[in-house]
């Protein structure tokens, strides 16, 4: 059926806006909890420890978990307020079906029967691969593992992917090329031992706030900090050297640094000769990357480039961190490899204070990219195209090679295939592509073309508004399982409360669907998350992401276990590559040449301004959760256009003025936020909002050829001053409510459609 979006009036009538129901003392007159549950934050990849206070099957607050080693009780604003979402009136508690007049509740069996019937109809008419699965990596390892197995053996489709495709896949691909394994080389404990910390494309203070504490500890010991970003982010304001390069020129900078390291004889030749391959070819690729050439490409002064190379090259210990700023590009893998080349050339990896890591963005972004819900991957970080890898997983799953599908399409490619009419049905699991994918109008058109669309989620996201059936699934605190932090530490999520109404854990829904599809023999034994985890352990055994020796008991006892951990008596591996031993068959790391190439879209006379996007400290990803927490909404109620005073002056813009931003995909009108902390040729928009307020109305669907990650961080736009009556109704309403909340000290509405 057509999945045209419901009207705003229909949505508001059914789901919002809602006011925050929590008075200062909590929901209950007696705030004394029945129990306190040690678990972890549901948001970013740091996976901070937290204690949830529970009374009458409701989470009523939290306590710091000071004993947990990573954050030692510290939390960011999102972590402090995360508990508020669980009692939100928007919470889905019944299965729902879409009608002409909006969504209506339906019985669970009716919802499952219709879902199974539509899956079978589409696959009988159009083939198994005409039905696709897109899932999220805020899911536990158990659910991520199960999503991959469910798609391939339950639905028998190859078209499975995950929203980590929009996050860490460039880092993963680069890590595997260079090291033979995809994980942070060190635990965060090594950050504070480093003499130099290089942060590239990571707004640490807002996106990974607790990591800031590790950097500050290093700085207390005298460490120097270099930050590479088109914006002077909060962390960069304290840095010893800031390199505000042009968007999309990161590989030019790393090539220029490597050129100088070689010229100034700052290469660790003993390490390079003993532990690496490919350095001569990589050096040949940077022989012409002089400081002058690098300056011309990046827009950075020659002396700043030389200073950065000198600081990095002369250090005895160092830690390089990067994130989406360099990865969200059509050459994200090259950018990652350029950073790794800098690390390998100086030999500073695999020993105390010498580290390298990508700062994983999503809650289980690390574990979610290890156990098989990527289109090209099998559990244990195995390659789905490798015959030996396939043979082993078939032996674990009890299937034949013919039954196991091959490589499918990536997330954006799946959406392209839906738009083209090649994929007819979709199961969406805790993923909001209408906000998260680039070119959101294209995504909206694609979702409206699906013959059948079923969504599993705990709130009605903007994408779920297009679904035919919505099945209520579990919040983080309503189930147990494991997650893997940015460090590679496997931690335990503990159940605090039961699911409300008919909502149930995602793993139970997938197992039930598989049984109803006649594929129960592969899933009947999954009676608990621990049962799934125990099969995951076997499936990962011998892979690079080896969890075989990790048990629930061991995780709890040790407050986490670092993989690889091949046996139950193995202590885990906080620091990879000690002794210069890498994961390629020959034990050596590989240099990879990264010749500079420009972004897929560049500025010109029609679109003369660079646009980049990112997060703010008060919101998380598509905002499905944080836009329902009143305190967080009040702190940052709506998006804005961050613009340098010189650029603002050129367009006659002052603080708060309405500015129309137009790319080759679309336009939007936002208030100007005039700051000196951004390049004068670049503007920035936070991306946590939907519809007329979505930054991804403007971004392009260009993909990295290796990782298939979209180029979110580099687009070309033009600006025009306009009048405030051109603000969208959504923005005007949010501004009005924010003003009233500040003036009257009332609670912010929890959600505005």
Average pLDDT over residues 153-179: 96
For residue 72, what is the domain's CATH number? Answer: 3.30.200.210
pLDDT at residue 15, as a whole number: 44
CA 457 from centroid of its chain's CA atoms: 17
pLDDT at residue 86, as a whole number: 86
pLDDT at residue 163, as a whole number: 93
CB 349 within 8 A of CB 126: no
pLDDT at residue 20, as a whole number: 40
Residue 594 lies in a domain: no
Percentage of the chain surpassing pLDDT 90? Answer: 88
DSSP state string for 602-627: ---SSS-EEEEEE--TT--TT-TTGG
Which H, E and C letters describe 627-692, residue by residue? HHCHHHHHHCCCCCEEECHHHHHHCCCCCCCEEEEECCCCEEEEEEEECCCECCCEEEEECCCCHH
Q: How many residues does the chain have?
A: 753
Compute φ and ψ for 94, nearest 5 degrees.
-130, 150
Residue 215 lies in a domain: yes
Q: Domain check: are 407 and 499 in the same one?
A: yes
Average pLDDT over residues 593-612: 97
pLDDT in tens, 546-576: 999 999 999 999 999 999 999 999 999 999 9
Q: Domain check: are 173 and 160 in the same one?
A: no
* Residue 518 structure tokens: 């006649």
Residue 212 lies in a domain: yes
Percentage of the chain surpassing pLDDT 70? Answer: 94
Residue 600 lies in a domain: no
Average pLDDT over residues 384-406: 98
Least confident span in 106-110, 255-259, 372-376:
372-376
pLDDT at residue 229, as a whole number: 98
pLDDT at residue 746, as a whole number: 44
Residue 17 lies in a domain: yes
Q: Domain check: are 26 and 132 in the same one?
A: no
Above 60 in pLDDT, residue 752?
no
For residue 616, what is the domain's CATH number? Answer: 2.40.40.20
pLDDT at residue 733, as a whole number: 86
Which residue, of 87, 109, 144, is where some domain finishes? 87
Q: Domain check: are 181 and 148 in the same one?
A: no
pLDDT at residue 717, as a whole number: 98
pTM equals 0.94
pLDDT in tens, 624-645: 999 988 889 989 999 999 999 9
pLDDT in tens, 78-87: 999 998 888 8
- Per the prediction, the chain carries an average pLDDT of 93
Which residue, of 536, 562, 588, is where some domain finishes? 562
Least confident span in 283-297, 354-368, 418-432, 584-598:
354-368
Total domains in the chain come to 4
pLDDT in tens, 685-717: 999 999 999 999 999 999 999 999 999 999 999
Above 50 in pLDDT, residue 29?
no
Residue 712 lies in a domain: yes
Residue 192 lies in a domain: yes
- The Cα-based distances of 610 to 295, 599, 642, 691 in angstroms read 18, 11, 12, 22
pLDDT in tens, 326-335: 999 999 999 9
Above 70 in pLDDT, residue 743?
no
pLDDT at residue 741, as a whole number: 64
Residue 297 lies in a domain: yes
Q: Domain check: are 392 and 525 in the same one?
A: yes
Q: Domain check: are 139 and 176 in the same one?
A: no
Q: Domain check: are 379 and 406 in the same one?
A: yes
Q: Domain check: are 146 and 254 in the same one?
A: no
Q: Domain check: are 122 and 230 in the same one?
A: no
pLDDT at residue 630, as a whole number: 86
For residue 213, what is the domain's CATH number? Answer: 3.40.228.10
Q: Domain check: are 75 and 108 in the same one?
A: no
Q: Domain check: are 329 and 376 in the same one?
A: no
Which residue, of 325, 358, 391, is where some domain finishes? 358
Residue 664: closest CA among 606, 593, 583:
606
Above 70 in pLDDT, residue 480?
yes
Q: Domain check: are 444 and 555 in the same one?
A: yes
For residue 461, what is the domain's CATH number? Answer: 3.40.50.740
pLDDT at residue 744, as a whole number: 55
Q: Which structural domain, as residue segments, surrounds residue 348?
A: 169-358
Describe the strand order of the beta sheet including 58-64 as a list of residue ranges.
35-40, 49-55, 58-64
């Amino acid at each position: 059926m057509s999945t045209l979006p419901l009207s705003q009036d229909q949505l508001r009538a059914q789901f919002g806006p809602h006011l925050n129901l929590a008075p200062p003392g909590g929901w209950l007159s007696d705030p004394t909890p029945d129990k306190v549950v040690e678990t972890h934050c549901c948001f970013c990849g740091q996976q901070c420890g937290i204690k949830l206070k529970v009374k009458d099957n409701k989470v009523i607050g939290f306590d710091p978990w000071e004993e947990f080693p990573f954050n030692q009780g510290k939390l960011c604003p999102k972590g402090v307020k995360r508990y508020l979402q669980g009692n939100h009136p928007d919470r889905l508690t019944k299965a729902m079906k879409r009608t002409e007049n909006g969504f209506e509740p339906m019985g669970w069996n009716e919802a499952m029967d219709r879902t199974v019937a539509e899956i079978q109809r589409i696959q009988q008419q159009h083939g198994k691969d005409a039905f696709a699965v897109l899932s999220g990596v805020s899911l536990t390892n158990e659910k991520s593992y199960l999503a991959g197995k469910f798609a391939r053996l339950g639905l028998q489709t190859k078209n499975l992917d995950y929203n980590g495709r929009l996050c860490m896949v460039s880092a993963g691909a680069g890590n595997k090329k260079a090291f033979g394994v995809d994980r942070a080389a060190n635990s965060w404990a090594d950050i504070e031992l480093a003499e130099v910390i290089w942060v590239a494309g990571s707004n640490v203070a807002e996106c990974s706030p607790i990591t800031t504490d590790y950097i500050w500890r290093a700085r207390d010991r005298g460490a120097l900090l270099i930050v590479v970003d088109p914006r002077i982010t909060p962390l960069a304001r304290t840095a010893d050297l800031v390199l505000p390069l042009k968007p999309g020129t990161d590989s030019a900078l790393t090539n220029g640094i490597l050129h100088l390291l070689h010229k100034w004889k700052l290469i660790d030749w003993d390490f390079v000769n003993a532990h690496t391959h490919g350095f001569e070819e990589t050096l040949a690729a940077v022989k012409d990357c002089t400081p002058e050439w690098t300056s011309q490409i990046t827009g950075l002064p020659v002396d700043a480039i030389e200073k950065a190379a000198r600081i990095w090259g002369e250090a005895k210990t160092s830690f390089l961190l990067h994130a989406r700023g360099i990865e969200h590009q059509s050459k994200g893998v090259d950018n990652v490899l350029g950073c790794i080349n800098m690390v390998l050339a100086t030999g500073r990896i695999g020993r105390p204070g010498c580290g390298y890591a990508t700062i994983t963005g999503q809650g289980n972004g690390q574990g979610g990219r290890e156990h098989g819900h990527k289109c090209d991957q099998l559990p244990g970080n195995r390659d789905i195209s490798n015959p030996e890898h396939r043979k082993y997983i078939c032996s674990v799953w009890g299937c034949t090679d013919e039954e196991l599908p091959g490589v499918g399409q990536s997330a954006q490619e799946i959406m392209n295939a839906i738009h083209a009419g090649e994929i007819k049905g979709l199961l969406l699991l805790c993923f909001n592509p209408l906000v998260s994918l680039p070119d959101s109008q294209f995504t909206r058109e694609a979702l409206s073309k699906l013959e059948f669309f079923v969504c599993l989620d705990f709130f009605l996201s903007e994408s779920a508004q297009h679904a035919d059936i919505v099945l209520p699934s579990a919040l983080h605190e309503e189930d147990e399982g494991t997650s893997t932090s940015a460090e590679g530490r496997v931690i335990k999520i503990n159940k605090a409360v039961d699911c409300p109404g008919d909502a149930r854990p995602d793993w139970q829904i997938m197992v039930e669907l598989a049984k109803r599809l006649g594929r129960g023999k592969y899933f009947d034994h999954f009676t608990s998350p621990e049962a799934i985890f125990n099969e995951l352990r076997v499936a990962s055994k011998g892979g690079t992401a080896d969890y075989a020796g990790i048990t629930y008991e061991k995780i709890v006892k040790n407050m986490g276990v670092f993989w690889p951990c091949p046996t139950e008596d193995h202590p885990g591996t906080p620091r990879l590559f000690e002794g210069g031993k890498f994961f390629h068959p020959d034990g050596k790391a590989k240099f990879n040449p990264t010749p500079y190439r420009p972004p897929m879209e560049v500025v010109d006379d029609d679109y003369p301004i660079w646009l980049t996007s990112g997060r703010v400290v008060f919101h998380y990803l598509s905002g499905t959760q944080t836009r329902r927490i009143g305190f967080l909404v009040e702190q940052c109620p709506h998006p804005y256009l961050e613009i340098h005073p010189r650029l603002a002056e050129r367009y006659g813009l002052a603080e708060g003025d309405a500015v129309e931003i137009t790319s080759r995909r679309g336009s939007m009108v936002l208030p100007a936020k005039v700051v000196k902390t951004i390049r004068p040729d670049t503007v920035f928009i936070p991306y946590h909002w939907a519809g007329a307020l979505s930054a991804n109305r403007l971004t392009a669907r260009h993909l990295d050829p290796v990782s298939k990650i979209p180029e979110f961080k580099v687009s070309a736009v033009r600006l025009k001053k306009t009048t405030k009556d051109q603000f969208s109704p959504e923005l005007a309403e949010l501004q009005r409510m924010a003003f009233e909340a500040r003036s009257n000290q009332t609670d912010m509405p929890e959600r505005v459609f």
